[in-house]
Amino acid sequence: MGKRINLLVEDLKVEAELNDSKTAQLIWEGLPIEAKVNTWGEEIYFAIPVKTGLEQGAREVVSSGELGYWPTGHAFCIFFGPTPASRGDEIRAASAVNIIGKVLSDPKVFLKIKDGVKITLEKA
């Protein structure tokens, strides 16, 4: 079983599970993390103090609710719908991301989150 984390932003508390990848382990070891969110279509991303490269299996097209790490921006990403890079109804990251876990409830709750609000990642 993966490691459970809480994503705390405004009045939301969303539980997620990290997978057993090297990148997810580095993030787990760095918790708690606080940042200000950026939105890009139906994606939230924010820089975190983890620096690592692409892992085998990294990809650009992701599923709603997946969590990713974007090495280019040292960023934690929460995907919940189409982005400006999407083609059709796919969910596409700006470039390849390491898949690090998934949200355990409806990721569409993130639709109401605006640029610049604070988010906290913590161990559940």
Phi then psi dihedrals of residue 110, to 5 deg: -75, -10
Q: pLDDT over 90 for what percent of the chain? A: 98
Domain extent at residue 78: 3-123
The total number of structural domains in the chain stands at 1
pLDDT band at 39 (very low <50, low <70, confident <90, very high): very high
pLDDT tens digits for 21-32?
999 999 999 999
3-state SS track over 58-123: CEEEECCCEEEEEHHHCEEEEECCCCCCCCCCCEEEEEEEEEEEEECCCHHHHHHCCCCCEEEEEE
- For β-strands 38-39 and 66-70, DSSP reports them as unpaired
pLDDT tens digits for 52-83?
999 999 999 999 999 999 999 999 999 999 99
Q: Look at residue 2 in the predicted model and tell me its pLDDT.
A: 77
Q: pLDDT over 70 for what percent of the chain? A: 99
Whether residue 13 is predicted with pLDDT greater than 90 in this model: the reply is yes
| CATH code of the domain covering residue 86 | 2.40.100.20
Question: The tokens of 80 are what?
Answer: 């919940």
